Structure 1
């Protein structure tokens, strides 16, 4: 049984479509479909069915996927063991959106130059999803917002950067008092389901401000665009560029606002890819 077929099955189950699985695996949708058909023929059962616009595992498929995740993790471990004396093999990392565009490009370029034998897979997502994938063994490490709780002792967290929160406002309002803007203008909220959004929620409570909420979004760049269009103000982390192009917004410090979004790498302390993860952390801290 070709483990690439199992990898394709897991990818379709995780992302709900062959097209997205193909994009993640850097192959064509036809190749993904062929792998799934070959796997179903070998096992003699249907593994995936279509439910509306998404692909869902059958009962048999769910059972196979559960074991497939373990087999794929074991395969990566075997490769790491075989290459234990050199920084080589596969490194599966996750990263939040602003880290994908603002931190990883330079880091990946230096890693590729210094460690040409390392194959890197990048999984974008939000911090909560990526944390769970590290816990579940699907990712070797992830660039995330520091959890608002103490992670288990089996995990390590290495701080990469701190991003102070600022008030994003239309540039025409740059000379106005930030606290008055927060209290009086429509507020575009950073989604409270995200750890960064919870920081904002707690800070507003401490400031005693109940803003006039207009929208709540989980995409920071989209929030910045809405501010640019004059739809309100927002508390955003001052993340590394690039920001969306052509924005006419001001980033104002807020008196009494003492919160920062701490971005770092989280990984299992017992990981056999420790050398690769430490190389990733070192390169990220060099930027």
Structure 2
């Protein structure tokens, strides 16, 4: 069995779309469909069915999902063991949205320049989702927000960037006190399902501010655009650039001892790809010390 066919099937099953699977795998949708047909011919049954625009596993497909993930994980482990003399093999790296456009491009450019034989698969997601995937072994490491609980001893953590909470306001009211803005202006909340959003909520509770909520969103870039349009103010981390272009906003510092959102790399101590993760950590640490990242 060609493991590329199995990987294509798992990616389609997880994403629910041939087009999205093709984007993640870096091949055409036609190539994905061809791989799925070849796998179905080999196992002798249909593995996927269409329901409108969505592609779903059949009963047979669902039955092999977990075993298929284990097979691919074992193959990646063997590749990592075989490549112990050099930085080579596959690493699956998760990243939150602001890291995808901020820290990660520079990290990957430097890492691949130093280790061109490395194969990287990047998984986007929230900190909550990516943390779960690291703990379950679905991905090797992730750039996430540090949670407000202690990491288990099975995981390791390296902080890359600390981002203080700021009040983001339209430029026309930038001269006002940050707490006054949070109390009086319409409030665009950073989603409390995100660890960064929970940090902001904890701060509001600590200082006794009950804002007049207008919206709650999970995308920092979208919040910034809405603040720029005069829809309200927000309390969010001063994330790594780039920010959306053309904004008319002011970043207003909170009083002393404002909380910080810590962005870092988390991984399993028992990973068979620990050498690859350590190489990633070294490059990520170097990038985090660049002026643009700090």
Q: Distance in 2 between matches of 1:260 and 1:129?
A: 21
Cα deviation digits, residues 257-281 of structure 1 (max 9, x gap): 6211111111010112212212211
Q: Distance in 1 between matches of 2:127 and 2:44?
A: 38
- Give the TM-score normalised by the residue count of structure 2: 0.95
Contact 1:207 1:256 in 2 (8 A): no
Contact 1:162 1:261 in 2 (8 A): yes
Aligned to 1:33: 33
Give the secondary structure class of the aligned counterpart of 2:134.
helix
Give the secondary structure class of the aligned counterpart of 2:148.
coil
Q: Distance in 1 between matches of 2:180 and 2:91?
A: 47
Q: Distance in 1 between matches of 2:224 and 2:30?
A: 38
Aligned to 2:8: 8
Aligned to 1:73: 73
Say if 2:181 is the partner of 1:174: no
> Once superposed, what is the RMSD of the aligned Cα atoms?
1.1
Cα deviation digits, residues 174-211 of structure 1 (max 9, x gap): 10111111001000000011111111111111110110
Q: Per-residue deviation at 1:286?
A: 1.4
Aligned to 1:241: 241
Note the residue ranges of structure 2 that are not aligned, 5 or more in a row: 288-294
Q: Distance in 2 between matches of 1:12 and 1:136?
A: 20
Note the residue ranges of structure 1 that are not aligned, 5 or more in a row: none
Q: Per-residue deviation at 1:71?
A: 0.3
Q: Which moved more, 1:214-223 or 1:52-61?
A: 52-61
Q: Per-residue deviation at 1:52?
A: 3.0
Number of residue pairs the alignment of both structures matches: 287
Aligned to 2:146: 146
Q: Which moved more, 1:237-246 or 1:113-122?
A: 113-122
Aligned to 1:91: 91
Q: Per-residue deviation at 1:37?
A: 1.4
Q: Distance in 1 between matches of 2:203 and 2:136?
A: 32
Q: Per-residue deviation at 1:152?
A: 2.1
Q: Distance in 1 between matches of 2:124 and 2:285?
A: 20
Contact 1:160 1:281 in 2 (8 A): no
Q: Distance in 2 between matches of 1:147 and 1:58?
A: 37
Q: Per-residue deviation at 1:53?
A: 2.4
Q: Distance in 2 between matches of 1:151 and 1:56?
A: 35
Q: Distance in 2 between matches of 1:201 and 1:91?
A: 34
Cα deviation digits, residues 86-124 of structure 1 (max 9, x gap): 111111101111111110111111111111111111111
Aligned to 1:201: 201
